[in-house]
Structure 1
Amino acid sequence: MTRTIYYTASSLDGFLATSDHSLDWLLSQPVSEQLQGEMEGLTTRFGAQLMGASTYQWLLDNEDLLTNPEKWPYPTPSWVMTHRDLPAVPGADIRFAQGDVAAVHAEMVAAAGDKDVWVVGGGDLAGQLADAGLLDEIEVSYAPVTLGSGMPLLPRRIDLELREVRHDAPFVLARLEVKKP
């Protein structure tokens, strides 16, 4: 059964990025070979991705994807929820959508086949899925840094059940199941 999983990284105080969308605090952290392998395996674990416009814009800008489309990291269909016009990465299977995320969820699940759907970011998008009863799990890697403010991991209450905690220097990784009513 396809599950919808918010797989992300966070500062210790619960932020995905700084207020100006910087990930320098995260990208400066050392990554073990095991965690690097896990991250590289995400493209085979997930059959579809979902992200918000800010996450997509960050990828465009920081990977210079319009000039170097071969750097697009997702070989499977990706949905971008947005209310603005954004350029598509040439050759990538990107589907722009707006409105109720629940309305496109069935398309993502169908595209994922027997794999899971990856909610890449951001927190509000994951929250919208949780509100609709469509988010199954959150997997978050906490980095040993605090930001004080920024883009929140989850900007609303979601009841969760801790399923797994592990340490992979310098990260603490937690897998949490979303409690559904």
Structure 2
Amino acid sequence: MARYVYCTASTLDGYLADDADSLDWLLNVPAADDARAFGAFLDGVGALVMGSTTFDWVHRHENLHEHPERWQDAYAERPAFVFSSREVAPVGGADIRHVRGTVSSHLAEIEAAAEGRDVWIVGGGDLAGQFADIGRLDRIIVTYAPALLGSGRPLLPRRLDSTRLRVEQAAMDGPFAQVTLSVSP
């Protein structure tokens, strides 16, 4: 059975994006020293899951309409499931599956696509929360950046306390601090 891993970056005050869904706060932080750790994480991923706001940001930021190869550069041949109540923009040559409804109604398809590897919940926080709600969020990996926004899109808008979360690892990478937590149902 696939593990569901929410891996994301956050500000110190727990926001993924600002009120305008921008990640400029993150893009202004100097790069991490060791990109190999993320590469090792990505090697274990068989499928991606994201909400439409996250997908739309990636589409705009990477200019995927004109440069669809950038999707492959970032996510390779992994199938991506985009949860949205509306149609999402296509990306030439990418295996992007637009899905509607609850996460539980798509688990079998997602797990089949992952082929025994992890499912990366790319974002957003509410989508990760939906996996937590049904007991299918197994791990959270948060890379904290030295930034504070005061408001924006929350990291994970759910109440999960220490009875469900256990810190497995904490590490520094350049200006970032990364915390890995296991999540019990």
Q: Which TM bucket (shorter chain)?
A: over 0.9
- Paired residue for 2:57? 58
Tell me how far apart the structure 2 counterparts of residues 23 and 162 of structure 1 sit (CA, whole Å): 26
Secondary structure of residue in 1 paired with 2:159: coil
Calculate the TM-score normalised by the size of structure 1.
0.94
Deviation at 1:60, TM superposition (A): 0.8
- The reply to whether residue 168 of structure 1 matches residue 167 of structure 2 is no
Q: Stretches of 4+ moved more than 3 A in 1?
A: 40-43
- Paired residue for 1:88? 90
- Paired residue for 1:115? 117
- Paired residue for 1:97? 99
Percent of paired sites with the same residue: 47
What per-residue deviation string (whole Å, max 9, x for no partner) do you get for residues 99-133 of structure 1?
A: 10111122111111131000000000000000011
CA contact (8 A) 1:81 1:98 kept: yes
Could you tell me which runs of 5 or more consecutive residues in structure 2 were left unpaired when the two chains were aligned: none
Give the paired residue count: 179
Could you tell me which runs of 5 or more consecutive residues in structure 1 were left unpaired when the two chains were aligned: none
CA contact (8 A) 2:33 2:173 kept: no
CA contact (8 A) 1:6 1:126 kept: yes
Q: Which amino acid aligns with 2:145?
A: A
Deviation at 1:29, TM superposition (A): 1.3
Secondary structure of residue in 2 paired with 1:117: strand
- Paired residue for 2:147? 145
Tell me how far apart the structure 1 counterparts of residues 134 and 90 of structure 2 sit (CA, whole Å): 28
Secondary structure of residue in 2 paired with 1:58: helix
How large is the RMSD of aligned CA atoms in angstroms? Answer: 1.2
What per-residue deviation string (whole Å, max 9, x for no partner) do you get for residues 25-66 of structure 1?
A: 1111122341x2223444422000000000000011111101
Q: Which amino acid aligns with 1:156?
A: R
- Paired residue for 1:76? 78
